[in-house]
Structure formats: structure tokens, C-alpha cells
Structure 1
Amino acid sequence: MLSERFVINDTQWALMEPHCFGKKGDPGRTGGDSRVFMEAVLWIARTGAPWRDLPAEFGNWNTIFKRFRHWVKADVFKRIFDAVSGDPDMECVMIDGTICKVHRHGQGAKGGLKSQAIGRSRGGITTKILGLTDALGNLVSFRLMPGQVHDLRETAEIIEGISCKMFLADRAFDANWLRETLSVSGIIPVIPPKSNRKFPPEFDNHSYKWRHLIENYFQKLKEFKRIALRACKTDQSFASIIYLAAATINSR
């Protein structure tokens, strides 16, 4: 019997099922039990094991892997994440980045490391996840970057169109252009200034303390060993694993 950590509960499944491929009535071939398939991918994500080590109770590992890649290319996991995440609490948002080491099995994709959001940082071969969470600390969106890239590189894209009262970030995000962008949108930047500023701007230190929620979320994500140690060659596959993990966290 599978541990509850690998099982999708009925409430989660009710939200996920409409977005799965291969249902009865869908065009093309009807797939195997989508719930069992999702739990197989969840088992891989949680344990970090190679696909070949997938327990036989889930079915043929190669068939499941091929189905996973089909869903990856069709952005199914992104749609599932959006469906289960509900309406985020956008009173404030938090942004931060976390580094994930890349296993040798996660290297070797066509186009080289840079084409798959993999780079070299102090930690070796790494990928960075830049995440944006809501006021409750639940993931809203994320971007993948090579590990050595500064968090600010993808910040403009990830915050595009957001509407909230406050924007919480650490001093790595203390940039004039970001403060100006937020102010134009009516968002209060809660960002401690860098020590080299001649005229450091003030910030709400009390509100800033809530930024620990995004750090807590990264810890939850990295309980999935396939995320803590990236073994996916393509950024598409790695992002899909993150979307599935985040979907189970957000819908608990």
C-alpha cells in the first residue's frame, strides 16, 4: 500500500481530473487510469528515483515515462497547478530564489546546459528557481534560470501584471528600477536597502518578517527529492515536476 505522501486525495483529484488527458470522451486513445499515473509521477518526484525503479504496481515504467513527456509538452501539469491553486491571496506577494543542484542524469540535453536553465555557480552545476508566492506563502508562479544568474534577471517578467498592496523581498532585490516599477503600479516595496546606499529608503520591518513564508515554501518543495536534486534533462520536464509538487502543496 502506498504512503499517503504519494496519494492524491479525493478533493485534489476532483480538481485535477478535468484537466487530464486520455479521459473517456476525449479525442484519440483513452489512457490508463489517470489518477494512478499522476501518483506514479508523484512517487518519482517525492523519492527522486530513476524512472526504471518505478514500482510495478504503477504499470510499465517506460509507458508511464512516455505519457509523462506527452503531458509535459502539452502543458497539462501547468493547467492542473492553476486549477487546484484557486484564488491566491494577493494582499501582498513575496519573491525569492533557491538553488537546486543538478544530478549528472539531468545534464546532456541538446543545446547544452544554458538552453535548459542550468549553469555553474558556487554550488557546482545548478538551476535556480525564482518563485513568487501570495500572502499565505503559496506559490503563484516561478521561473527557471541557470544557477549563477542574479534573481533580478527574471523579476520584471514574473511580476508583470500583478496587483497587490505590498511586495516583500530581501535586499538582493533592492534596485531602483524595481522600486519605481512597483510604485507606478501603486505597490509598496518592502525591501531592505543595501548597505552601500547613501540615502537608504525606509521599509516596513514588521511586514518584512512575513517573508519567511516563501522560504518555508521552498523547504516544502525540496522535500520532493526530484526537485532538491534535479535529474530532468529538460527545463520543461523539471518545471512540470515543480508544478505537480506545488499543486499537491497548494491544495492541502
Structure 2
Amino acid sequence: MELKKEQYEQIAECFPKQRKPAKISNLDVLNAALYVMENGCKWRSLPKEYGDWHVIYVRINRWAKKGVLEKAFLRLQQLGIIKIQVNVVSLDSTCIKVHPDGMGALKKNGAQAVGRTRGGWNTKLHMVAASDRDGVIFSLSAGNRGDGPEGRTLLQQLGPADHPVYLLMDRAYEGDETRALAVELGYIPVVPPKSNRKDPWDYDKELYKQRNQVERLFRRIKRFRRIFTRYDKLDVIFLAFVFFALIVDVLM
């Protein structure tokens, strides 16, 4: 799996310009990162044909911390390649196992989105998706954090809807506070009530079937082993890989 030149050109302006002929082009660096993301290997295990692994690692690390891959993701949204102007979106989360290599970030980097659950150390990826190919916005939290509070934070980051949009959510988000926030922001919540609700409400069961689109999107990006398992100590690096996975999925 490799990005072609014509695919890269759609996001090329988001990457720093190389001032002189470099031994490793930006496209070559992205394809090396794609190999690492797809196979889940260590950087030093990169095949030699990709070039010096340390040069590639340093450049990806720099891009991650400067938000370059996030900029490329937003560029694809602006171009309409990632379609976000829709009438229905889905909100959900997925758990990602943290590899021992992803533990032990230095304290100077602050708390990272890693938490202990009954299944071990996990990171949660929360996402609003417009389809099974189009992510709108996402965030990370520790694996032991509740979906409701993190979902509300994500909706606040997403901001008000500029037209009526149905928001499909599972029962983890059926709390009064989450539904009230959705309505306040201009969304129409479609969420089934829990069985112990004293005053349950009706919801559109046919429309609710589309909620599996966000689950299918999780499945698509989790085919990359670097997303299926978290190997990165820092959130900013892991987030960059999630951005990159969404970019690759829509371009290819």
C-alpha cells in the first residue's frame, strides 16, 4: 500500500516545502509512515529502501507536534473529499489496547490518554462521523473515562450546527445532559432510552440503523495495526496516526 503522486498532490501544500533537493521527499516519508502504520513495526525495522529510519521518524515526529497531518485532514474536508456537510452524523467511541511500548511517557509531557480498565490499559477514541469513510472530528481519552462526558466535550468542540442535523448515538449517550446539549447546539438527537427510564421516548428506529456507519469507520482505520494497538507514548503522535489513517482511507 502506497500513496501515489497524484493523491499526495491534493494535500502537498499542507507540508513544509523542502528548500533543497532532499534525499527523502515528503511523499517518501509519508509512504514510510504508511508502512509503519499498516504493519505496526518499530521505526528502526523500516525496510532500507525507504531510507534512513531516524530521518523519517524525526520528520513525522515534527509534523505531528506542529499539526501538519491535522492540517492535511482539514484541507480534505475543505475540498469536499472528506464530506462533512450532511444531514446525519453519528457519535461513538472505540477502545484501543495500549502496548507496553506505549506506556511510560515522561511526566514533563503531562498526563496522557491512557487508563486502566478491567481489560488492561486502554485509550478511547471518540469520533463524530458523517459516513463510514468520513470523519468529522475526534478526540482521545483514557480508557476508564465515561462516554457521556467525553461525548459532550467533543460536541462542544464541534460547535453549533448551521442546519438541522440528526445526531445518532447509542445508549451510552442517552443522559439528559448529553441530549440537552445536542439540542442546544442545533442537533436532533436520535438515541434509544435505557430500559429503566421512567418516561421513555420514541425515536426513529429506521434512521438509527445508520449509526453503524461510525462503527464501520472504526473498523476501516483499525485495519492499520498502529491504530488497532497504541504503540505511541504521546497522545500527539498517536493522534497524528489517526489523522493519517483517515487521510489514507479517503484518498485510496
Q: TM-score when scaled to structure 1?
A: 0.90
> Could you say which residue in structure 1 is the equivalent of 2:225?
225
Equivalent residues of 1:84, 1:251 under 8 A apart: no
In 2, Cα distance between the equivalents of 1:136 and 1:225? 19
Selected match of 1:104 from 92, 100, 104: 100
Read off the aligned partner of 1:17 and give its amino acid letter: A
SS of alignment partner, residue 117 of structure 1: coil
Alpha-carbon spacing, 1:44–1:135, altered in 2? closer, same or farther (3 Å): closer
1:81-92 counterparts in 2 under 5 A?
A: 81-85=73-77, 86=80, 87-92=83-88
Aligned: 1:180 with 2:180: yes
Summarize deviations over 1:156-204 as a string: whole Å, max 9, x none: 2211214142000101100111211222333211001111110011111
Where does structure 1 lack aligned partners over 5 or more consecutive residues?
A: none
1:37-116 counterparts in 2 under 5 A?
A: 37-85=29-77, 86=80, 87-111=83-107, 115-116=111-112
> Could you say which residue in structure 2 is the equivalent of 1:23?
18
SS of alignment partner, residue 21 of structure 1: coil
SS of alignment partner, residue 116 of structure 1: coil
Equivalent residues of 1:89, 1:135 under 8 A apart: no
CA positional deviation for 1:93: 1.0
Alpha-carbon spacing, 1:31–1:141, altered in 2? closer, same or farther (3 Å): farther
In 1, Cα distance between the equivalents of 2:58 and 2:202? 53
In 1, Cα distance between the equivalents of 2:31 and 2:56? 11
CA positional deviation for 1:32: 3.1
Comparing 173-182 with 232-241, which one deviates more in the overlay? 173-182
Equivalent residues of 2:92, 2:169 under 8 A apart: yes
Where does structure 2 lack aligned partners over 5 or more consecutive residues?
A: none
> Could you say which residue in structure 2 is the equivalent of 1:129?
125
SS of alignment partner, residue 10 of structure 2: helix
Aligned residues: 244
> Could you say which residue in structure 2 is the equivalent of 1:118?
114
Equivalent residues of 1:191, 1:208 under 8 A apart: yes
In 2, Cα distance between the equivalents of 1:120 and 1:109? 15
In 2, Cα distance between the equivalents of 1:113 and 1:98? 24
Read off the aligned partner of 1:213 and give its amino acid letter: Q
Identity, in percent, stands at 31
Equivalent residues of 2:130, 2:136 under 8 A apart: yes
CA positional deviation for 1:30: 6.1
In 2, Cα distance between the equivalents of 1:111 and 1:153? 25
CA positional deviation for 1:88: 1.3
CA positional deviation for 1:22: 3.6
Aligned structure 1 segments of 4 or more residues deviating by more than 6 angstroms? none
SS of alignment partner, residue 11 of structure 2: helix
Comparing 174-183 with 237-246, which one deviates more in the overlay? 174-183
CA positional deviation for 1:63: 1.1
**Superposition CA RMSD, Å:** 2.0
Equivalent residues of 2:132, 2:217 under 8 A apart: no
CA positional deviation for 1:9: 2.6
